[in-house]
Structure 1
């Protein structure tokens, strides 16, 4: 009997994909699959009643992105009618809803469905999924060949660890779980936190609250709000130009993105750009905060970028100096029925407590993921065995989007999520068109070597310094950081051509690893509309055979005027 399959070479077998999460990452994966794949099924489980992920959940006063609006989109899907330089959460949510509708993605999405578990069936080569329909309470059972976790890193609010919060008799709000039904006008508010959400909340609520006590435990490097010549909002003339002149929007996006991609060496210790940034920000912040005693409280003594820079923090600093605002330069020691106690023992009374205390950034899955004697929840509680933001050691047919070592705060992030979706699709394509593959998993040795390299590379980054930050999640893990220690452009090049050799492929069925060769008939011959002489041409326009040549073509090398290169070796002093 001929051991070859009866199908053609690279026959596209049916593949079933389950994705958890319908935010930027999950929607991007859905789009990529619809654009390029056939003979597949995709189900996206989303715990919220609407898509959008963190942008659906975060609706606090003043909530907005902290990068230019026109660049907080997919690289291939611009939005021309953003109303402000920094888009509100509502506008970003509308963008994602429009994107899903335009590309017919909702057919794949089950909202109000909370995934509660996933277990690997080795014999069948599939994942068995359980979820709960939050509307009906029904238990949903599903299965898939490929499981993708796109839950992101901003999806589980972190409440203050100080005891007694449950005893507070007034409303308790969290920036990521805002209750619009709570009236804050005319109230005495306690705002805990001074990070990315707090710097947006305070300027938005200060004009309407009676008073605000703001707990500032750690200073942050801040920037003035980006704006046009006429303010933070785009003018009617701007909006008209964007609506009628696509080239104007493209030029704005290109200018912004080139700027965002030009500052990475600022995050490297001892570089000229790091020192210049520190001198500039310190000077600008001290112009705003003139009291030397207050400067000591609000101007950081750690490198710029050790904690995430707050691009629109000046309105926050100005608000701290208003008459109805009292900054408390302390942490919260405990909560009481009527307020909270600062580290020095002082009791602070309030009507409402707002916790702008961020998220649980541990990356530990919110549900058990069982495979080959492992539970990923338990494994990652002790050590994250990730890879390139997308891989999980020894976990079959599973990928992450926005996982550990994603470049989350050192350059444009949306395009990095796109690169991750491309990476995952490359593996889905390999699985689909090589029908002998039973399963595939990241080799433990590859994950170990990767993490070892990341630890060494992180030593040169400013976020390896001793400031509390979201880059370094748990010191007991023995890992210096879970943020990519390179630029976004560096990350794109790293993911562009997947290293299949870092994965173990298990084969089954007739033909095994060569089942993909099929019956000797090409896909071209079975495609009635294909040209059987497609390779005859009058010039060589084929794919470049070296990685360098492919990179130069993709990045349009030679099209821009020469610029100064900020190399790692370019330090601030000759002996640094």
Structure 2
């Protein structure tokens, strides 16, 4: 009897996948699965009525991305007709919606469906999922072989931990759940926070409100002049980009190369860290009008310890407007008419806007019960045991996207999302073509990984004396949960899976994937059965070094001076911003 198709080597069994979240990560995973797999089913549950995740939820005044718009796209899906250099949340949301429509991904996505809980069933090797249809209130029970949590890390808003919220008789708003139907015109606003969101809100509302008081508990570094380039493109410029895609490609490459050349700024005592700090300190010293503002607004921690605000001179100018008052204090409590500052001062307002960010503890909103009913929520309350942004210690057949140790501040984020989707797809491919029941990250591996991260972080600015999201807005309470390296470093680390970090369990004989001796090529009537006969060696390279150099297009660019930014070392005013003559001599030697 002739063998059946199922007897061929690497036969693809059916695999059922559930993804939680239809933001940039979940959408990317859906695209990658559709592009490469055939015998699979996928359901993406999204709690919001539309896709795009954080860009659906964040719609506060002035909300925009601080990455140039042409680079805030998937690497393979450029957009030529961005309206401005730095796009607002509405346009970014439209980009992801258009992507879903173009690639027909909506068939996988169930919007207004909120996951309530997940439980692993060891005997069957599957996850059981409970979901609520938010439109009907009906409970949906589903299951999958592989579960992906693509809920992101900017999706759980954080109100300040201060007393008296129920006392306030005015309107309370939060940047992460903003009600854009509330009119601010002519109102007195109390704005709590001084990070990127607060700055964007301040710049947007200052021209229309009667008065705004902004509470700055601690300073942050701001970039000079970035906001000068945030204006809209002219119709002629957009037409040029649409007509000549190669111009967009060149712009994207130049922007990306620049972003990927500054990682050493995030390491302590490097030339770039000193250069950037000198530059920003000089800019703030010249821009701030009095010693009190200089004392309050020039940070004493390293540049990059918390996210740098790209608003420059316009932000500093706005702080000096007549209807803006800066309160150098946190908020102690809320009163019926406003709030009390930590310095004892009292402030009245019609509307309180909290731009206080998110809970970035990475603890899921819903219970996830793994083996022996261990709850992921409880596990990470005491200790985060994540793995390279994609894994959770000892929870079978489960992944995260944008989990802890993803490069979310030190390089382009979307390409890292793509790397995570590729990693997950590689694991799904192995699961689908071998008799695997479960794969689980080993606890000792995650412990070693975390120890390595902790040792590297001591050399970075993220462990300096500042509150940042990677420490869940606290100082020194945990190892920072960003990636301990550059974005390019992360891409290289994620490119090839370390399968020995995982524990695999099989059903039956683990070698049953060999089938009865027939290849996949022999089951394809259009395949070349002599495909290995060729005139030159074009097979994959055998060493990581050669593979990485080929991927990075080594030898195609003009040699650059490593870990230096010539513009930062150029004379400014009466002297050199940073880098002494020795640095310049070394740079010249390297250039030659």
Fold shared by both chains (TM-score > 0.5)? yes
8 Å contact from structure 1 (residues 226, 232) kept in 2: no
Tell me if 1:379 matches 2:379.
yes
The verdict on how the C-alpha distance between 1:324 and 1:52 changes in structure 2, with shifts beyond 3 A counting, is same
8 Å contact from structure 1 (residues 54, 154) kept in 2: yes
**Aligned match of 1:270:** 269
Alignment of 1:103-252 (within 5 A): 103-226=103-226, 232-252=231-251
- Shift in Å, 1:290: 2.5
Matched residue of 1:544: which SS?
coil
**Aligned match of 2:27:** 27
**Aligned match of 2:315:** 316
The verdict on how the C-alpha distance between 1:256 and 1:228 changes in structure 2, with shifts beyond 3 A counting, is farther
8 Å contact from structure 1 (residues 45, 110) kept in 2: yes
8 Å contact from structure 1 (residues 383, 477) kept in 2: no
* Separation of aligned partners in 2, 1:399 and 1:572: 44
- Shift in Å, 1:110: 0.3
Consecutive unaligned residues of structure 2, counting only runs of 5 or more, are 565-577, 583-592
- Superposition RMSD in Å: 1.7
Matched residue of 1:504: which SS?
strand
Q: Deviations over 1:254-277 (max 9, x none)?
A: 110000001100000000000000
8 Å contact from structure 1 (residues 225, 313) kept in 2: yes
**Aligned match of 2:554:** 557
Matched residue of 1:115: which SS?
strand
Tell me if 1:534 matches 2:531.
yes
* Separation of aligned partners in 1, 2:409 and 2:203: 23
- 1:521 is aligned, of 512, 518, 522, to 518
8 Å contact from structure 2 (residues 194, 215) kept in 1: yes
The verdict on how the C-alpha distance between 1:546 and 1:237 changes in structure 2, with shifts beyond 3 A counting, is same
The verdict on how the C-alpha distance between 1:389 and 1:115 changes in structure 2, with shifts beyond 3 A counting, is same
Matched residue of 2:470: which SS?
coil
- Shift in Å, 1:314: 3.3
Q: Deviations over 1:156-215 (max 9, x none)?
A: 110111111122111100001111121110000000000010010001000000000100
- Shift in Å, 1:411: 1.0
* Separation of aligned partners in 2, 1:457 and 1:405: 12
TM-score relative to the length of structure 2: 0.93
Matched residue of 2:141: which SS?
strand
Q: Deviations over 1:292-344 (max 9, x none)?
A: 21011111111000111112243222211100010100000000111000012
8 Å contact from structure 1 (residues 10, 516) kept in 2: yes
8 Å contact from structure 1 (residues 5, 518) kept in 2: no
**Aligned match of 2:487:** 488
- Shift in Å, 1:380: 0.5
Q: Deviations over 1:404-451 (max 9, x none)?
A: 0001101111101110111111100000011x1000010111101100
8 Å contact from structure 1 (residues 174, 355) kept in 2: yes
TM-score relative to the length of structure 1: 0.96
* Separation of aligned partners in 2, 1:181 and 1:359: 22
Matched residue of 1:359: which SS?
coil
- Shift in Å, 1:228: 7.2
8 Å contact from structure 1 (residues 119, 129) kept in 2: yes
Q: Deviations over 1:523-555 (max 9, x none)?
A: 110111111111111111011111111111111
* Separation of aligned partners in 1, 2:34 and 2:226: 36
- Shift in Å, 1:7: 2.1
Matched residue of 1:345: which SS?
coil
The verdict on how the C-alpha distance between 1:35 and 1:102 changes in structure 2, with shifts beyond 3 A counting, is same
- Shift in Å, 1:6: 5.3
- Shift in Å, 1:393: 0.7
* Separation of aligned partners in 2, 1:475 and 1:301: 16
* Separation of aligned partners in 1, 2:561 and 2:272: 12
- Shift in Å, 1:561: 0.5
8 Å contact from structure 1 (residues 66, 312) kept in 2: no
* Separation of aligned partners in 1, 2:312 and 2:31: 35
8 Å contact from structure 2 (residues 463, 476) kept in 1: no
Tell me if 1:545 matches 2:542.
yes
Alignment of 1:415-564 (within 5 A): 415-434=415-434, 436-473=435-472, 479-509=478-508, 512-564=509-561
* Separation of aligned partners in 2, 1:221 and 1:132: 43
**Aligned match of 2:17:** 17
8 Å contact from structure 1 (residues 48, 113) kept in 2: yes
* Separation of aligned partners in 1, 2:559 and 2:172: 54
The verdict on how the C-alpha distance between 1:333 and 1:475 changes in structure 2, with shifts beyond 3 A counting, is closer
Matched residue of 1:203: which SS?
helix
